[in-house]
Structure 1
Amino acid sequence: MRVSVGRRLGVSVTAVAVLAAVAGCQGGDGADKGGKKAAADAPAAAEPQWSSALQVIQAAYEKTAAAKSARVRLTMTMPESPAGGAGAAGVAGLGAGGTMEMSGVVGWDPGTMDITMTGDGLLGGGEGSSAGSRLVMVDDVMYMDMGDEAPADLGGKRWLKLDFKALGEKTGDAALRKQLTDSLESMNQDPAKQLAMLLDSPHLKHVGPEKVGGVQTQHYKGTLTVDEMVAANKSLAVLSEKERADLVASMKESGLTAYDTDVWVDADGYPAKMDIGMVTPEGRIEVTATYSDYGAKAAVQAPPAGETFDFMEMMEKLSEAMEDGADADSSAA
């Protein structure tokens, strides 16, 4: 595999890792339960305003969950971490920080996605990082367009196939399989799940009217601590109590202190814009997404099988080649 395509693969995989790292902080279903818990924790003095905000976000959650698809434009900005660090999201190779943008169609229940991603330092910089990478997700499988140079390096096939569900099944680890598939489903930045997370905030408030892209909206804001964020994340239910406690301790040790969500709800009751922020020692991770065309059919199709190259098969062949090489060296010795 030539260096250029190898770098492009690294860029695409890094982009997926970034999305999964942030998406892993999303909550799952169960907005009613979250709202009741937040109600118990809400300050008594703020009850009238909080109750009104909760009703609006609850209604927005229900409408968004029912819509099942939308068009999205998303920008993620990450701060620079110290040299050699793993980056603010805890993903190796992201120490340079930078900005990533993506746009396209996303669907949830079931999770689908057809987006184009571009980025600078966040995606490693250099050749291929700013030209854009197309990602398609359908039936729990991710496909990455490796670009015009891919055919010569991938047996004449342009698309790289990443089947995370099959990878989880191959390991035989049920918990890992669930975490991989949950992260994959969350990578489409499902706005309904973000609203469900917001409903778990005891600090939910109505900021006021604001315009987004010329459209009148109402701005709402909520904040979660690390403990509240982990409790709200239903995909972590597979962890034992000790594992959950270790995760919380690890997040706190990394310096992550808060998870903020701002949402602008339009006159139709849908989120027109969402801002998600996480505070880390290096600075804030910022994710801004604008949504439109709710409920439009997300006609996402997988690339033709003849144009795809299975990543797992590629890694297995590479592993076999390395083993054969090691055996040959051993025999020669």
Structure 2
Amino acid sequence: MGSSVRHSARRRTLGAGLAAVALAAGAVSCSKGASEESPKMTPAAAVAKAAKNAGDITSLRYRMTGEYPEQGRIKAEASMRMKPTIAMSMKMTALDQGKDGSAEIRLVDKAMYIGGNPEMAKEMDGKTWIKFDLSALSDKDLGGGAPGAGQAEQNPAAESTFLTGAKDVKKVGTEKVDGVETTHYSGTVTLDTLRDSFKDEDKATREQREKSIEQYEKMGIDKLTMDMWVDGDDKTKQFRMKGDADKGPLDMTITFLDYNKPVTVTAPAAKDTADLAEMMKGLDES
């Protein structure tokens, strides 16, 4: 293979890897049944209580389905640890992108790894993972959404609290989600009112939620329509957010499968990994 052909293949591979980063753009079994509001518990108060409980989450496993701007329809399942250190693993498929639409993402030790795509491996001497060094970022950056890393690092536990910023929260009814009885609430929130709703939170919480808000601003979204399903333990079992972005509709549903269970993420073997920085350096020097 000539050098120009190899360089072209490498550039296509890098493009596929960066597209995967943009795409990665991450069951409460003992529930007591649907959340039962007391006569004094308004829908807004019930949503606020669930949001407060989200602050106690140290790890979670969740399923994500829906439509993402530019990427189209996606589905994914992920495990994420927020404490003591940030780690995440996600298997994601872009349903409208054919054989190039599947990828596995791992975030561990301040590095992101993209793999699981055989088409990428063909152009990387058989290596099946690309490594993106995120060591310059703090844990707060990683937990709130690393710049350019997209959906993979957005913290769904934090985003599930967004309905607290709505002025029109209402109870829709009771529904089962994955066999769990829940109470369904809905409302709309602008990013400006969302920021106002966080002003009395502690600094760490404000910074984390601000990172999530910035991701939606970058998409050109200024208002979100939200639904939230709360279980009998006053925890969010599922939430859905919809918005109009510059490059297509956002309509994502996150279903929480379990909370605070051990999450272990391991980096792929070095022999199977191509470092993005080294690949870029090789292209620059050629």
State the TM-score, normalized to the length of structure 1: 0.63
Give 3-state SS (helix, strand or coil) of 2:100's partner: coil
Ranges in structure 1 where 5+ consecutive residues have no aligned partner? 24-47, 79-88, 170-175, 239-243, 322-333
Q: 2:22 aligns with which of 17, 20, 32?
A: 17
Q: 1:119 aligns with which of 94, 99, 109?
A: 94
Identity score, percent = 27
Check the 8 A contact 1:63/1:270 in 2, yes or no: yes
Deviation at 1:67, TM superposition (A): 2.8
* Residue of structure 1 in register with 2:106 after alignment: 136
Alignment of 1:202-217 (within 5 A): 202-217=167-182
1:108 equivalenced with 2:91 (yes/no): no
Alignment of 1:84-233 (within 5 A): 89=69, 94=70, 98-109=72-83, 110-121=85-96, 125-129=97-101, 132-148=102-118, 153-166=123-136, 181=146, 184=149, 187-229=152-194
Alignment of 1:303-318 (within 5 A): 303-318=268-283
Check the 8 A contact 2:17/2:130 in 1, yes or no: no
Structure 1 Cα separation of the partners of residues 40 and 23 of structure 2? 33
Check the 8 A contact 1:64/1:191 in 2, yes or no: no
Letter of the 1:153 partner, please give it. Answer: E
Deviation at 1:285, TM superposition (A): 1.5
* Residue of structure 1 in register with 2:45 after alignment: 55
* Residue of structure 2 in register with 1:172 after alignment: none
Check the 8 A contact 1:261/1:276 in 2, yes or no: yes
Deviation at 1:149, TM superposition (A): 5.6
Higher RCO (CA < 8 A, seq sep 6+):
2
* Residue of structure 1 in register with 2:62 after alignment: 72
Closer, same or farther in 2 for the Cα pair 1:148/1:15, shift >3 Å? closer
Superposed CA deviations along residues 67-93 of structure 1, whole A, max 9, x for unmatched, are 322221111314xxxxxxxxxx4xxxx
Structure 2 Cα separation of the partners of residues 133 and 111 of structure 1? 20
Structure 1 Cα separation of the partners of residues 282 and 10 of structure 2? 18
Deviating above 4 A after TM superposition, structure 1's stretches of 4 or more consecutive aligned residues are 1-9, 48-51, 148-152, 176-180, 182-186, 229-233, 235-238, 280-283
Structure 1 Cα separation of the partners of residues 128 and 75 of structure 2? 22
Deviation at 1:8, TM superposition (A): 6.2
Higher strand share: 2
Structure 1 Cα separation of the partners of residues 53 and 269 of structure 2? 34
Ranges in structure 2 where 5+ consecutive residues have no aligned partner? 1-5, 27-37, 199-205
RMSD (Å), alpha carbons? 3.9
Higher helix share: 1
Return the index of the structure with the highest Cα Rg.
1
State the TM-score, normalized to the length of structure 2: 0.72
